[in-house]
Chain A
Amino acid sequence: MAYDYTPFPYVSAPGLTAPEPRHRVAIVGAGPIGLAMAIDLAQRGVPSVVLDDNNVVSVGSRAICWAKRTLEIFDRLGVGERMLAKGVTWKVGRQFHGANEVYSFDLLPEEGHKYPAFINLQQYYAEEYLVDRARAFPDLIDLRFKNKVTGHEDRGDHVVLTVETPEGEYTLETDYLLACDGAGSATRERMGLDFTGQTFQEQFLIADIEMADSPFPQGTPERWFWFDPPFHDGKSALLHQQPDNIYRIDLQLDVDADGKAEAAPEKVIPRIKAIVGDKPFRLDWVSVYKFRCIKLDRFVHNRVIFVGDSAHVVSPFGARGGNGGIQDVDNLGWKLAAVLAGEAPEALLDSYHDERSHGSAENILNSSRATNFMTPKTPVEALFRAEALRLAHDQPFARRLLNSGRLSVPCSLEGFPLQTPGDLSGRAVLDAPLQGPEGDAWLIEQVQGRFTLVGFGEIDLPEIDGIARIGISQTGKDYPCFSDPTGLALQRYGAGRACLFRPDGHVCASFERPDAASISQARNRALGLAP
């Protein structure tokens, strides 16, 4: 069944009739990033107004692969479980060369994580769930559809926006403007910020089809990638499964292909039949893309902050666009809330740039390498790839050279100034199953959202104002303690260690002998209060 794009209701903005009191945060764009941003802030009690020029969710599935770390962040934002329940969990990826399978990989053989390595779920579902969740904060999230931001002016300590609606124009003041307006960000263009980088000449046909019969063995969802498939000579192809019996097919096209003509059903249908054979299907969505790998030099410009695709775009091989943007949200939310609450200096926001610019550079590096591998530019590049493929049939090292996208993994923040150097410092939370006063639990549910000190094994945690405490494999403490039924928590973190987690689940310090002074100091450092 095709997705039902029910339009969100348009509501008259108060600013159309009388000046609105200055907002704390205005978010331009209700894509996955803008919506997640509003929810993150609302969970910290920070109100925001979200302005979107449109009134439906993402047209077309676009982002379909959501990585484990993203799902863990979505868990904190209250949509993770719903996404997991609806999404297609897949583990096995197969790489083909011509008609032959070269090798297959299993994503997460490791047990003891609440979320799998990846799920596939159409972006329109992700956005629908985020909108539903945002509506749970009627006093904190003011969602305004059909409100297009047409101008903004940074006045030093606030920003003035011009907004266009079906009923006319109004202006709005905000302390901070979060530009979540996507790859074509008008905010970015208005500011004349340079946004240049590698644009790949190759075009890709992206098609979603609805098909009752699974093309995969035993109907188990997998990811299939072909180099030089028999049905699509000399190019590459990808087949992936989404919920509702929707399958995603990516086909590399010629550099000089006519994108419009290629997207016509009479062109697309025979191409798909060549892949899926006689199985009946319905064409759900077709689009032709050229991909880019670009990021802004700076994500923070005084009171205007870029988040998600407005700050960085990557080619989709490796699924790092939406996933990277959600990590931006995770990084920025607690910092902005702390600055707005007067608990941290404004300079803390610069660390959002430092840390996420690093993350997006990593994503760009990986995505552009994958895209380069998939689209050799010279005869020598084609030669190396052909021989790597040939060797890959039996040489394990050559299998690892094949690159159809290195799937997104959480980025480490080790070495950045907010972290106190030490073991595990900078690492994103690694989940583990726990058993606590209220039954089964997961580590990710316990440490995200606030500064949390976790003691692994017999180790005493001092009480410090503003830091939650949790003991694992300890008893008789005056703070919540959990057992480690599988032993995985202690195995993953080491016994006799305390870790201080930032509100975004990154370890910012670890201690063998935690004392109140060094813990406070590490927390203050993570808030940008102390070196």
Chain B
Amino acid sequence: MTIAPDRLSPHQDDFYSALMDAHTGLAEAQSHALNARLVLLMANHIGDLPALQDLLQTARGYDD
């Protein structure tokens, strides 16, 4: 589990509302598809395999 430093603030609310706006008007299935595309785009943007593997593990680590 990686605890990353906060890099979003002070723009966290701008980001979050832009994220919600991106989903506005989409059916649930379309939203899931958007999320999938977004993950792939962000992965490409990060472009660092070890970092991505770490993020995957961290996200998975919250599974209950």
Contacts and interface: CB of A to CB of B under 8 A. Distances in A.
Contacts of A380: 23, 26, 28, 31-32, 35
Interface size class for chain B?
20 to 34
Contacts of B17: 369, 372
A366 B13 CA distance: 8
A381 interface: yes
Interface in A394-429: 394-397, 399-401, 403, 406
A412 B61 CA distance: 42
Interface in B1-37: 1, 3-9, 12-13, 16-17, 19-20, 23, 26, 28, 31-32, 35
B9 A369 contact: no
Contact of B5 (A372, A394, A396, A406): A396
A391 interface: yes
Interface string A58-83: 00000000000000000000000000
A492 interface: no
Interface string A304-347: 00000000000000000000000000000000000000000000
Given A379-B28, A380-B28, A400-B9, A394 B3 contact: yes
A384 B13 CA distance: 13
B24 to A, nearest CB: 8
A406 B1 CA distance: 29
Contact of B62 (A369, A372, A391, A403): A391
Nearest to B11: A400
Nearest to A403: B13
A400 B6 contact: yes
B8 A384 contact: no
A390 interface: yes
B13 A369 contact: yes
A373 interface: yes
Contacts of B5: 396-397
Contacts of B62: 387, 390-391
Contacts of B1: 394
A113 to B, nearest CB: 21
A397 B13 contact: no
A369 B6 CA distance: 20
A17 interface: no
A406 B17 CA distance: 14
A403 B16 contact: yes
Nearest to A397: B6
B13 A381 contact: no
A367 to B, nearest CB: 11
Contacts of B20: 372, 381, 384
A218 interface: no
Given A378-B23, A390-B62, A400-B9, A373 B4 contact: no
Nearest to A381: B20
A398 to B, nearest CB: 9
B31 A400 contact: no
A372 B20 CA distance: 9
Contacts of A401: 8, 12, 16
B4 A397 contact: yes
A378 B26 CA distance: 10
Interface string B31-46: 1100100000000000
B43 to A, nearest CB: 18
B31 A369 contact: no
Given A369-B17, A406-B13, A397 B28 contact: no
Given A391-B62, A394-B3, A400 B12 contact: yes
A388 B1 CA distance: 16
Given A380-B28, A401-B12, A406-B13, A395 B4 contact: yes
Contact of B3 (A369, A372, A395, A406): A395
Interface string A342-382: 00000000000000000000000010010011000011110
Of A379, A391, A395, A406, the most chain B CB neighbours within 10 A belong to A395
Contacts of A395: 3-4
Nearest to A366: B13
Contacts of B31: 378-380
Contacts of A369: 13, 16-17
A318 to B, nearest CB: 11
B25 to A, nearest CB: 10
19 contacts: A369-B16, A372-B17, A372-B20, A378-B28, A379-B28, A379-B31, A380-B35, A390-B62, A391-B62, A394-B3, A395-B4, A396-B6, A397-B5, A397-B6, A397-B7, A397-B8, A400-B6, A400-B9, A400-B12
Given A372-B17, A406-B13, 16 more contacts: A373-B16, A378-B28, A380-B26, A380-B31, A384-B20, A390-B62, A394-B3, A396-B5, A397-B5, A397-B6, A397-B7, A397-B9, A397-B12, A399-B6, A401-B16, A403-B13
Interface of B: 1, 3-9, 12-13, 16-17, 19-20, 23, 26, 28, 31-32, 35, 62
The 5 closest A-B pairs by CB, nearest first: A397-B6, A380-B31, A400-B9, A396-B6, A400-B12
